[in-house]
Structure 1
């Protein structure tokens, strides 16, 4: 049951008072009623304003939470890209150092028959095609490099980049072959986790979502501490 407003109760009480009480004349009673009504209305306005402010604040907090979650995801992806670039750069110099050491020591093996200047030139040329967005040409250039320098220490990277270029050119079968070559022949190479992730990317491009999920799980199982595993977890989670 709703309680009457204070000013309504006052009017009811005043109607029961004797006329000769003289506590309030008609003008004073009207002023008191108006004052109490205005105070009540002001309190209601204040309460409504406070409720609206609280609702707006709650909406702003939720929007900020969503934005923070999005930014966190963007940062994680950026960190993955940065780690990948650092690793690739480090691998390049490690491979270069290993090749130079073999040349300096006159080490035996197929790599001693390679012209270092030509090898570096052709590898860099293929990389530049890839960086320039010329994906079919880059894939062909890396294939030519692989055929010409079969004893090169750059072979794992060459197969990886050949797969990446082929995937960008939408040649998924060719990409898968190169990525699998890295995984199968050099499973401990720094490129292997990204190559296995590349297989998943090719499967996704072909619409083979079940195989993609299976490959993503394999990335996590085989290379749990890699940046590729972090990316695989994010994709499985989404």
Structure 2
């Protein structure tokens, strides 16, 4: 049997080598392509997940903003309602006071030196200024009234309303003086409990919290069945 020439074997080896090398390169390339594809897929998944999280966060932020806007609106509405209630309550007490004083003057004649018509007119004018929210003017009008009509049966109420008007006008010293006048000179008057509560309000406005608490306790002890005592208990948390 004849053995093939050496050059034939060498040629066969050379011809077969590129085929094996090509197969090896294709496998590596496919692996690299798959690796790159998997890497890009992972990155896309991470990006999509991050985008969804960002979108959810943005939605949550918008929801919180909307809720805060609603709460601000609710608070503003409540503040408006409180001011309206406060104004209606003040108007009610002013009207009630005027009616009570009219009955009082009708049942008992005023002192000789007082002109009843002028007295009622000036008192009503001062009340109207208070109802209109002209607090500084109302306080001045009541000051004039208590000076002009020193013997008037309206004096306890006039001092009380003068104190209320002065407190609203931020004239705390003036308000305190009028409230104390009611408490000291007419402790049994219907206005006395509210006047003492007014003193506590003045102390609160001045930042004198300890004095305010003592005065609130005095309201409760001196006028236990009054509406002012109920308010004082609420403020003391008892």
Match of 1:226 in 2: 227
Native 8 Å contact 2:200 2:212 kept in 1: yes
Is the partner of 1:111 in helix, strand or coil?
coil
Aligned with residue 44 of structure 2, among 18, 32, 38:
38
Distance 1:169 1:48 in 2: 52
TM-score by length of 2: 0.61
**Distance change in 2, residues 1:47/1:78 (3 Å):** same
Distance 1:33 1:42 in 2: 14
Native 8 Å contact 2:162 2:175 kept in 1: yes
Q: Tell me the C-alpha RMSD between the 2 structures.
A: 4.3
* 1:80-95 to 2 correspondences below 5 Å: 80-95=86-101
Moved over 6 A (4+): 18-22
Native 8 Å contact 2:196 2:215 kept in 1: yes
Query: Structure 1: any 5+ residue segments left out of the alignment?
Result: 1-17, 103-108
Is the partner of 1:216 in helix, strand or coil?
helix
TM-score by length of 1: 0.61
Q: Which has the larger radius of gyration?
A: 2
Following TM superposition, by how much is the alpha carbon of 1:216 offset from its aligned partner in structure 2, in angstroms?
A: 3.2
Deviates more, 1:81-90 or 1:50-59: 50-59
**Distance change in 2, residues 1:56/1:216 (3 Å):** farther
Native 8 Å contact 1:182 1:195 kept in 2: yes
Deviates more, 1:203-212 or 1:223-232: 223-232
- Number of equivalences: 206
Following TM superposition, by how much is the alpha carbon of 1:94 offset from its aligned partner in structure 2, in angstroms?
A: 2.9
Distance 2:75 2:220 in 1: 23
Query: Structure 2: any 5+ residue segments left out of the alignment?
Result: 1-22
Following TM superposition, by how much is the alpha carbon of 1:64 offset from its aligned partner in structure 2, in angstroms?
A: 4.8
More relative contact order in 1 or in 2 (CA 8 Å, sep 6+)? 1
